[in-house]
Amino acid sequence: MKDEFFIGWSNTPGRQTRAFMALVSTVLIAGLALLSAILSSTIRDPGHSLFGSSGLPQVVQDVTLAGTLTFDPYPIIMLPPDAMHPRGHGVLLTGEGKHGVAFDRAALEGARVEIKGFLLKRGTLDMLVVNGSPRKIAEPEAPGRPQSLGRWRIVGEICDGKCAAGGMSPGTGLAHKACANLCLIGDVPPVFVSSQPLEGQQFLVIADGRGRALDHRIRDFLAMRVALEGQIERRGDMLVLRTDLAHARRL
């Protein structure tokens, strides 16, 4: 058996060297592909963009929802229980563009209504972009009592609910901060995207200590990794974090 040896001036490596280089290259390429797959699987789903460069919807899922309308901390229609949502299902409401809804609260608080629009969906987060005004379909209902889940400290990101639900891709992260600020200035409801699931959910509605909409200070914490503390309550299948932004911490 003849051993191969290196010849510095030769442009042709030996057969054993070629086989070794082919093996190393194959392992390296396969390893990098596997590493890419593992890293990409840990990235949060950015949602599906529904808007093209013209600003008009490309994919529109038109729906008509019927449920109980509430306004605290933000406009929400609570759908009755069904097979998929045995506790009922909460859907946040927003208007077109970077604007929230402008309903007559005095006339519609707690009313059973029918609302039309197109649905943005990401995971357990649903937001209806409303088209037109709600239509009353029944007498007002007494709202169900929220279930307290105790006091929690959670880490994640505050986002505008519309882009986080799929209005933009990715709709989260520091690059989206300016857009998120404009949405919140226009009264689009914010959401908290937890870094870890809480009671099986990563998306929480956030409110102040009285259960009402957070004030302008929320914009100082948008699109950043933050830690919030407060009481969490369940309304239907929706989790609401009641927090004080004075104790919020950037991480």
96 and 157 assigned to the same domain: no
Does 86 reside within a domain? yes
171 and 128 assigned to the same domain: no
Average pLDDT over residues 143-165: 88
212 and 178 assigned to the same domain: yes
Distance CA 46, CA 197 (A): 16
Does 23 reside within a domain? no
Average pLDDT, the chain: 84
Distance CA 49, CA 59 (A): 9
Q: What is the pTM of this model?
A: 0.75
Structure tokens belonging to residue 16:
């054993």
Does 48 reside within a domain? no
Average pLDDT over residues 146-154: 92
pLDDT in tens, 169-223: 666 777 788 888 999 999 999 999 999 888 888 999 999 999 999 999 998 999 8
92 and 184 assigned to the same domain: no
Amino acid 57: pLDDT: 39
Placement of tokens 């013209």 in the chain: 54
DSSP output for 149-183: EEEEEEEEEEEEHHIIIIISSS--SGGGHHHHHHH
197 and 119 assigned to the same domain: no
Amino acid 45: pLDDT: 53
Distance CA 66, CA 91 (A): 11
Range of the domain at 97: 62-138
